A = this chain, B = another copy of it.
Amino acid sequence: MGIKEWVVPQDRIFFDLLEKQAETVVKGADLLVELVEDYTNVKEKVQLMKDIEHEGDEITHEIYEQLNRTFITPLEPEEISRLASALDDILDYIDGTAQQMHSYCIKETDDAMIELAKLIQVSVVEVEGAVKGIRTIKDPKNIEERCIEVNRLENIADGVLGRAIRNLFTTSDAITIIKLKDIYENLELATDKCEDAANILSDIAIRHS
């Protein structure tokens, strides 16, 4: 095994990078809401989303690379890599759904998509707040409350999905069903990924407080 760096100020870099990644996820969620609420200039917005996703990817890779080179971190390496990967997953689903809307030539968005996108947006803001809270863990209760809120939002999204699917099957156009079912499900999966990130953040808060 090679020589590992042992430099105290480098520890701070992980919090900087994780916060930057959480901000990128929020940026993606904001664009998603904009896309579904004002479904115009779709191609441009979807391309912008892809750029945001690439930005997020680069931050994730930087976190991994730092983890492989740095020996001492304030958190355990596995906690950092699990959190980075969970944040990355949220953005992947946000971007993936936007790409799908374009690939599927969706002509217009609907209430269920808007509702789900807004739930994603509120969830990622809570996740971002919790990520910012782990730098000092001065207020673990605040982190915990944000995580409980993300779990609550995921349950709501689950209900929205159920109703949207049930409603979808009242139509008889199979091709529309195939397209919209994928989009609804992927939007709901984004809130599942928020829940995964929240669970990891809650673990970190309990462990280090």
A residues contacting B by CB (< 8 A) are 1-2, 64-65, 68-69, 99, 103-105, 162, 165-166, 169, 172, 174-175, 177-179, 181, 199, 203, 206-209
Given contacts A2-B209, A68-B203, contact A179 B174 (CB under 8 A): no
Chain B residues near A104 (CB-CB < 8 A): 165-166, 169
Given contacts A105-B169, A208-B1, contact A99 B162 (CB under 8 A): yes
User: Is the beta-carbon distance between A68 and B207 smaller than 8 angstroms?
Assistant: yes
User: Is the beta-carbon distance between A178 and B179 smaller than 8 angstroms?
Assistant: no
Q: How close is A52's CB to chain B, nearest CB, in angstroms?
A: 16
What are the 8 A-B residue pairs with the smallest beta carbon separation, nearest first? A174-B174, A68-B206, A103-B165, A103-B166, A103-B162, A174-B175, A68-B207, A1-B208
Chain B residues near A203 (CB-CB < 8 A): 64, 68
Q: What are 5 A-B contacts with C-beta separation under 8 Å?
A: A2-B208, A99-B162, A104-B166, A174-B178, A178-B178
Chain B residues near A169 (CB-CB < 8 A): 103-105, 175, 179
Q: How close is A181's CB to chain B, nearest CB, in angstroms?
A: 7
User: Is the beta-carbon distance between A175 and B172 smaller than 8 angstroms?
Assistant: yes
User: Is the beta-carbon distance between A177 and B175 smaller than 8 angstroms?
Assistant: yes
User: Is the beta-carbon distance between A206 and B69 smaller than 8 angstroms?
Assistant: yes
Q: How close is A37's CB to chain B, nearest CB, in angstroms?
A: 24
- A203 and B2 alpha carbons, distance in the complex (Å): 13
Q: How close is A111's CB to chain B, nearest CB, in angstroms?
A: 17
Chain B residues near A2 (CB-CB < 8 A): 207-209
Chain B residues near A172 (CB-CB < 8 A): 175
Interface centre among A64, A104, A178, A199 (most CB of B within 10 A): A178
